[in-house]
Structure 1
């Protein structure tokens, strides 16, 4: 899938404008935003993902999108996602065209995460903050678009059973809210 086709498919489906227009009414410290960075390389689209370092308190070692908690200085979820992407991997906000946002996702760990969809305008040099990111890698969007690469399983946590998305890719295991967001993106552009 090329960028023009992606943009047409993405924009054919309605998204709520309210997802990125304001900061949370209160700040208990559990609101967050992530950037879904999409980059066209040659004639193929890629999602850029990060692996969290093992020393982090929340979600150590997991695959994620660049992003993090809302800070008081952030205007909205878009501002949070763009700030975090710049801090974590060196992706400057002026190198991203935001095309929309998905509704916030609640995680079973207590976070509410707003996914912001953005197109990387031109190649950039990764500058990884080792305090927040262990590594960064790209996956062809076409890989995730294939239904056989997206799975739904179950996970027990504190005596409750949850449905959990997961997607193995090469030597990586993408699961949880990141996999759920990827699944939502794929279903959104395939409608």
Structure 2
């Protein structure tokens, strides 16, 4: 990734684009009108402290109710005490990976993403100019790792795979990296950002 990572990210966030969902690759899915979605925020934290920009991701505990064992951004549902989804994403990042307050420089937001678990997720794009001691939240996060931004911003690195879900064939994006199988909502939101970065 070129040294102008921040300016490229800002330009990408200024471009208009549609919202995304877990159903994007399944056009036959009929969603009930009037469904209630819970607001949530995830932090797409891009560390600039290494030789190359890297995106911080977590591997969720296999004991969690939602998305157990999956690769995810730090983040979660907006609580009553959160001012907005950005505050929710930053609070969750502090709790899940030990991100210190004030370290993340928020650049903007991607359009909302609807999940199969009825969340309306806002990806909050932020940069980290310094390293920090990562502290995974016990019982919720099994591992914290990072992936080069350049790998995630190349559309050709994304695959479309499928599996049976609720008696139907469901298609979704994946973007494998080493031993990590990044798929579903996380891969879809990253792919949306990658598409904008190509323009």
TM range (shorter): 0.7 to 0.9
Distance 1:139 1:99 in 2: 19
Q: Extract unaligned runs of 5+ from structure 1.
A: 20-27
User: Which 10-residue stretch deviates more, 152-161 or 98-107?
Assistant: 152-161
- 1:109 counterpart = 2:117: yes
Q: 2:143 aligns with which of 120, 127, 135?
A: 135
Contact 1:29 1:70 in 2 (8 A): no
Distance 1:145 1:29 in 2: 28
Distance 1:77 1:40 in 2: 23
Instruction: Measure how far apart 1:135 and its partner are.
Output: 0.4
Instruction: Measure how far apart 1:162 and its partner are.
Output: 3.8
> SS of the residue aligned with 2:53?
strand
Distance 1:121 1:177 in 2: 26
Q: 2:160 aligns with which of 143, 152, 167?
A: 152
- 1:174 counterpart = 2:182: yes
CA-based RMSD: 1.9
Provide TM-score, normalisation by structure 1.
0.86
Note closer, same or farther for the CA distance 1:125–1:61 as it changes in structure 2 (3 Å cut).
Answer: same
The CA deviation string for residues 80-138 of structure 1, in whole angstroms up to 9 with x for no partner, is 00000000010013000000001110012222111000101211001111122110001
Contact 1:54 1:60 in 2 (8 A): yes
- 1:87 counterpart = 2:95: yes
1:9-20 paired onto structure 2 within 5 Å: 9-13=8-12, 14=14
Instruction: Measure how far apart 1:153 and its partner are.
Output: 2.8
Instruction: Measure how far apart 1:177 and its partner are.
Output: 0.5
Instruction: Measure how far apart 1:15 and its partner are.
Output: 5.4
Q: Extract unaligned runs of 5+ from structure 2.
A: 20-35
> SS of the residue aligned with 2:69?
coil
Structure richer in helix, relative to its length: 1
- The alignment covers a number of residue pairs equal to 180
> SS of the residue aligned with 1:165?
strand
